[in-house]
Amino acid sequence: MKTKYHFLMVIAIGIFSIAATRSITADDLVGTWKYLISDVPAEYESGFLKFEQKDNKTVGYVEAAEKQEVKDLTMDQGKVTFSTENQNGVFKYSLVQKGDTLTGLISSQYGDFPIKAVREAKK
């Protein structure tokens, strides 16, 4: 009985390890994502993250009151990171993708704020 338990635990750990280290590809990220940011003034709490392929490279934009280009975009082992810059400073995004949801934090000189984005249906 103990042997079966150990065998099942090894299999379960292996499956979760493989799932946790799955790489994100551009295809996983490309599209429009509606985001909500917690604990910020109403005018900053929602907008869109847009990612697309241009010249064999993934590029992105954050669209709210104004359109900001994403800089230093990386996708590695389930994590998506990038930054934007505007007159209010630099904003660093650190997100984890699970299916059609991105969750994480935005870090800035004003603090860290939770963000959640859901992929919009393709039109």
pLDDT, mean of residues 30-54? 92
Global pTM exceeds 0.85: no
Under a CB-based contact definition with an 8 Å cutoff, are residues 44 and 37 in contact?
yes
Q: Which are the contacts of 11, defined by CB distance < 8 A and separation ≥ 6? A: none
Helix-strand-coil percent breakdown of the chain, rounded to 5? 20, 55, 25
Ranked by mean pLDDT, the top range of 2-11, 22-31, 99-108 is 99-108
Give residue 35's pLDDT band: very low, low, confident or very high (50, 70, 90).
very high
pLDDT, mean of residues 30-55? 92
Query: What number of other Cβ atoms are within 10 A of residue 81's Cβ?
Result: 15
pLDDT above 60 (res 51): yes
pLDDT in tens, 56-76: 899 999 998 789 999 999 998
pLDDT, mean of residues 93-102? 94
Share the mean pLDDT of the chain.
83
Distance CA 74, CA 92 (A): 12
pLDDT, mean of residues 14-41? 72
Query: What number of other Cβ atoms are within 10 A of residue 97's Cβ?
Result: 20
pLDDT, mean of residues 91-103? 94
The confidence score (pLDDT) of residue 82 equals: 97
The confidence score (pLDDT) of residue 17 equals: 43
Under a CB-based contact definition with an 8 Å cutoff, are residues 80 and 97 in contact?
yes
Distance CA 59, CA 41 (A): 27
Domains and CATH numbers, the chain: 24-119 (2.40.128.120)
